[in-house]
Amino acid sequence: MSRAALRAVERLVALDAEHGATAAVPAARAAVREFPELTAAPGSLPGRHRHGHGHRHEDRDRLAALAELCEVIGWILFDAGRYAPAHAANRQALDLAHLAGDHWTARLVHLNHAMLQTHTGRARAALDTVARVPGTRPLPARVHSLTLIRRAHATALLGGRREPLDLIDRARSRFLDGISRHDPHWAWWIDETELTGHQGWVLARLGCWDRAIPLLHRAATAPGPSYRHLFTAHLLSALAGAGAWTEAEQLIADLAPRAAGIGSARTTETLGRTAAALCRTAGVPPCLRDAAVHLRAALPAGTQRAAAPTSPTER
């Protein structure tokens, strides 16, 4: 069971990285069918009350694998634009992680959930969620960096000016402390490009266009998984905010031919909002407005209505 669940995790992560979350949703549904324990209340899982050290160890491994699988499903639902079922998946993953005594998966779920809360306008709740991440020992540098990134986004959304800048600067400083043997296995994706993209995104939230645009450009043009198209979307938004019309038009010309294949609803939502704003904003050159109309038409239809489980355990 544990090995099969971890293989399902690997399949989903690879599919999401290659094709995006909306493409991964059917595979997530198939994983739920493959592991019916994901539909059960955590306290009622078979084997939960067995006696004997060997059985307890086996049960912990199984619960930890299911927690990790549910965490990945929650991430996919979030990036596919299904925020309510993503919330439910995160809650289920957290319950499973706690039953397994898997503190690192629980931390990742909290960090994912804080991102969801910020994205859906619940920044104060996101700060409360991030506050649950630290434990009795200091966090490894990359994980601590990620907590600071989540706090920076939330405080920027709440209208902070100096604090988000301080937090994102501290995030870079902690990241530069490097990897350690204490890093959890999932910390591999917290890399230079991820940090650079989030740093640019936080600066863009604050309207610091001159600093944000080069960072977002660097992150958007670096090779990486599909979900990092989000940095391209925020680059376009920053260019529009800065009134960099020529650069915005050039980016749309590059984006539009491949827009239909973007598998992240968060990305297509952001692109759609920016394109709509360009269409209605006074002073936008006609050629850029035409390009924005073209981009809106090129975005995948029904992204927010993509087929997905209505709960983390829908069959």
Looking at residue 312, its pLDDT comes to 40
* Phi and psi torsions of 14, nearest 5°: -65, -40
Structure tokens at 278: 């360009």
As a three-state string, the secondary structure of 218-283 is HHHHCCCCHHHHHHHHHHHHHHHHHCCHHHHHHHHHHHHHHHHHCCCHHHHHHHHHHHHHHHHCCC
pLDDT of residue 302: 57
Q: What is the pLDDT along the chain (315 residues), one digit of tens a residue?
A: 688 999 999 999 999 999 999 999 999 989 988 888 787 776 676 555 444 444 477 788 989 999 999 999 999 999 999 999 999 999 999 999 999 999 999 999 999 999 999 999 999 999 999 999 998 899 999 999 999 999 999 999 999 999 999 999 999 999 999 988 899 999 988 999 999 999 999 999 999 999 999 999 999 999 988 889 999 999 999 999 999 999 999 999 999 999 999 999 999 999 999 999 999 999 999 999 999 999 999 998 753 333 333 334 332
Q: State the Cα–Cα distance between residues 28 and 9, nearest whole angstrom.
A: 9
Provide the whole-model pTM. Answer: 0.89
Q: What is the pLDDT of residue 52?
A: 42
Per-residue pLDDT at 134? 92
